[in-house]
Structure 1
């Protein structure tokens, strides 16, 4: 064979041999990659967000890659401290994840660890950002749409952001959440020391008294932080001031007398207050959305409504909320106030017309004479022409209306944020109820103690003379709609634990028992105080 022929044959064979060697050396890598991909696909089956995330990035890892150590460490730290936020930590077990990382000696095991980390991340991110529970499953009157974030987008963001920084950004950044977190730690420290000490005996203590009960009151106030260190055995001026501060923080008349209601509130154990704080933190996560530069907050257990401008309270008033009775409890939701109606007509809700007024009309056709009887065509009907006895709640064909007047159930103005629950804020002729500490008396709507001042505050953004604008319309006696140039978000919430702008933690009674339901569900999910009772 000539040299030229040999050279030609080598020119053909060598590239083939080199190609074969390259293929053989690459085959293990490709096989490993394929095994990892298959493992990720299999492990993410049933979790659409995790599966979609890895498909969009061609199954490249973010937790088990060579440079993913900081991300793994940041996630593990976050999971290990989930209980600091009152989350059900067992839902994302960091020890299980550590074990999965340690056992990841093969491509398939790496894939399983990768997906486990991703699943724990999206669960933790959702829980700490917008709540671990679903409120509508706990109480049908909590009708909030939770601010759930897109989990695929969260994984993408976590894959590119500073891991520790991203995880720290997830909890609510509101002053309320910060204050609640601080109160949680303070109460836990109190419980570690045994609580607030002995209960205050008896039903009432007054300034000037002395004795063992007064000493117990003194010690309780000191332990709670309302009174400085004192050896006095007398109900003196300092103790009276401390009681007043306690009363203000618990929604009680600040008369400085430790009456039955005050002693009842004083004797609530620190453990129960801690549960209230944990529920309030969960509730704050449910509302982890921008509230609006100007917005209205109604807190049901506090019986208070406020206008918040740029984070500061610019107006506050007492309110009456719905009775603690089925069908009358004020629901929790957010909406947008669009207008007010001056000299409103009260269109009696059908439930009230048929359940409360129809029985009265059957007994006496002239009952509730302040209400007009109106047919489906809007015509006023004479009561003498109607046999009320023939109608039931389902067949009653009329509507009841109360024209504008001083006696109108809605008073002189109502504030409208149209919603399917038919809830709004309004004036009322029943002013005496605002003097009570507990104010749940309405059929669900929110009655306002200072409606004119609320109207002036809302109109001040669109008029140089808001009082003149309002009262000119009022004096006509005619129903008048006044649109708000800038609509105002309204948030009807339920907080039994909350901080004032000055930082003092406040507590209120769980008037509807909703917090008790939430706490029971949080415990079922694995949230625990894990401390002895006080």
Structure 2
């Protein structure tokens, strides 16, 4: 072999090996030391958090944010932080610019390791907030018994590390179509506020057909900008304005009479900022219930005074309802449970609170008061009123129970629908039918009364019998208490929504009957949520 070929072979084959050996001897130890320092910093930073410590231990304390290969994760998180306010979250809580600065400034393995864990904490905070809400519902209002479906931080980290980052983060918010529609309405209102809102309010007075003048013009203009009236030059309360008012009343749960009285005028004059608050609160409430609701479920919106059956996302039955009165001990709570059975010809077992607060004072004055109720002792024996002395009993020592047997006048009517729960709340019939004609229907002791309980029962039974009306009526005719189980129990959700956006896109607003949404909004504001005005 020529000297030339020997030299070429040496340069091609031998020198790279020598150089690699040099790198291993002198460079690799330094790199290995840096990796070790990084992992040690990660372990130390995660040591106070069992979920993060478990996650990083499973990975040998390798990072998921810190290398060039992790750029897609960083970019996805920064984009999420930049758009957090679109979801009604406090934008300042998720500091994208600050995160970028920290990533750029971390130069040593120790700094990078500490930042690795800090970024994971920020990611988990964001994931929790956008999945299941900023607030703990029961801390806002003790009548909100919502079991928020909080995800495990460890499972969140594991899933994120194995997923496409952008797709994973996009899937964090509620997937319910209602949430998407609420967010679209939120952004529309923000643009509207940025462009000046809805203009002047309507002067305070009553408006009806045939009226004219400056007040009617202001009403006309307001209805146009609200989207209930096509553009017109009329200065008279004509058929077009009448139709627009009825559509407005329907969209706001008002009595539909086509006349602008005090209640309708109050709702017409509400400013977009207040409506935006309702939308943001509704989005937070959607996060609290971010789980499957059931292919068939019952949806009771307290503020709307309705109970509905939903099948595969479609409303298949609706009836008016009466809910708890505004007194603190009578409001209808918010929670979810599962309806298991109905009771036809029910007895009413009077709650202790009603016995002692309402009926005991009457019995003290007259032992024969409330004769429709049986007074029973601890063994279930009926107490003889003629020999009983109720005068010495108080709320704390009254020893008896009270029950109303089945009858047409029973407080529960002729059927009740049971989803056993610790709140002793259920849906039922009522003999007090006149209340269903009122605009605001908050009169009960907390349970939900139905205007059409028989039809509600038929709709539920139709899934398990071919002739639901005949089956129900046969039980009813006996006059005796009968339990009918639902072969497929149905989830029940008692919710409180002052803003909803149905599939047709026409936003519906309701009054904050218990003031709960005001409390939710105040709590969100304390967390840093703000109203935005976006200029077009």
In the TM superposition, what are the counterparts of 1:418-429 in structure 2 within 5 Å?
418-429=420-431
Instruction: Output the CA distance in 2 between the equivalents of 1:267 and 1:190.
Output: 15
In the TM superposition, what are the counterparts of 1:53-68 in structure 2 within 5 Å?
53-68=55-70
468-477 or 65-74, larger mean C-alpha shift: 65-74
Instruction: Output the CA distance in 1 between the equivalents of 2:47 and 2:239.
Output: 68
2:267 is the alignment partner of 1:265: yes
1:74–1:163: 8 Å Cα contact kept in structure 2? Answer: yes
Q: TM-score, normalised by structure 1?
A: 0.94
- Counterpart of 2:41 in structure 1 is 39
- Counterpart of 1:438 in structure 2 is 440
- Counterpart of 1:205 in structure 2 is 207
Three-state SS of the structure 1 residue aligned to 2:231 is coil
Instruction: Output the CA distance in 2 between the equivalents of 1:52 and 1:87.
Output: 29
Number of residue-to-residue matches in the alignment: 515
- Counterpart of 1:182 in structure 2 is 184
Structure 1: state its 5+ residue gaps.
1-17
Q: TM-score, normalised by structure 2?
A: 0.94
Q: 1:113 aligns with which of 112, 115, 120?
A: 115
- Counterpart of 1:6 in structure 2 is none
Instruction: Output the CA distance in 2 between the equivalents of 1:20 and 1:274.
Output: 66
Deviation at 1:530, TM superposition (A): 3.6
1:97–1:116: 8 Å Cα contact kept in structure 2? Answer: no
Structure 2: state its 5+ residue gaps.
1-19
Instruction: Output the CA distance in 2 between the equivalents of 1:367 and 1:247.
Output: 43
Three-state SS of the structure 1 residue aligned to 2:375 is strand
Instruction: Output the CA distance in 2 between the equivalents of 1:292 and 1:48.
Output: 34
Instruction: Output the CA distance in 2 between the equivalents of 1:277 and 1:499.
Output: 9
* Cα shift readout 1:18-58 (whole Å, capped 9, x = no counterpart): 99995654321222122112222232343332222111211
Deviation at 1:388, TM superposition (A): 0.5
Three-state SS of the structure 2 residue aligned to 1:461 is coil
- Counterpart of 1:281 in structure 2 is 283
Deviation at 1:501, TM superposition (A): 3.6
Three-state SS of the structure 1 residue aligned to 2:282 is helix
1:365–1:383: 8 Å Cα contact kept in structure 2? Answer: yes
- Counterpart of 1:132 in structure 2 is 134
- Counterpart of 1:334 in structure 2 is 336
Instruction: Output the CA distance in 1 between the equivalents of 2:91 and 2:115.
Output: 19
2:507 is the alignment partner of 1:471: no
Instruction: Output the CA distance in 1 between the equivalents of 2:62 and 2:483.
Output: 59
1:97–1:113: 8 Å Cα contact kept in structure 2? Answer: no
| Counterparts in 2 of 1:508 and 1:206: CA distance versus 1, 3 Å | same
- Counterpart of 1:525 in structure 2 is 527
Deviation at 1:113, TM superposition (A): 2.0
1:340–1:416: 8 Å Cα contact kept in structure 2? Answer: yes
26-35 or 500-509, larger mean C-alpha shift: 26-35
| Counterparts in 2 of 1:474 and 1:38: CA distance versus 1, 3 Å | same
Structure 1 runs (4+) deviating above 6 angstroms are 18-21
- Quote the RMSD (CA, aligned, Å): 1.5
Three-state SS of the structure 1 residue aligned to 2:386 is helix
2:128 is the alignment partner of 1:146: no
2:449 is the alignment partner of 1:447: yes
- Counterpart of 2:409 in structure 1 is 407
- Counterpart of 1:488 in structure 2 is 490
Instruction: Output the CA distance in 2 between the equivalents of 1:482 and 1:273.
Output: 43
- Counterpart of 1:379 in structure 2 is 381
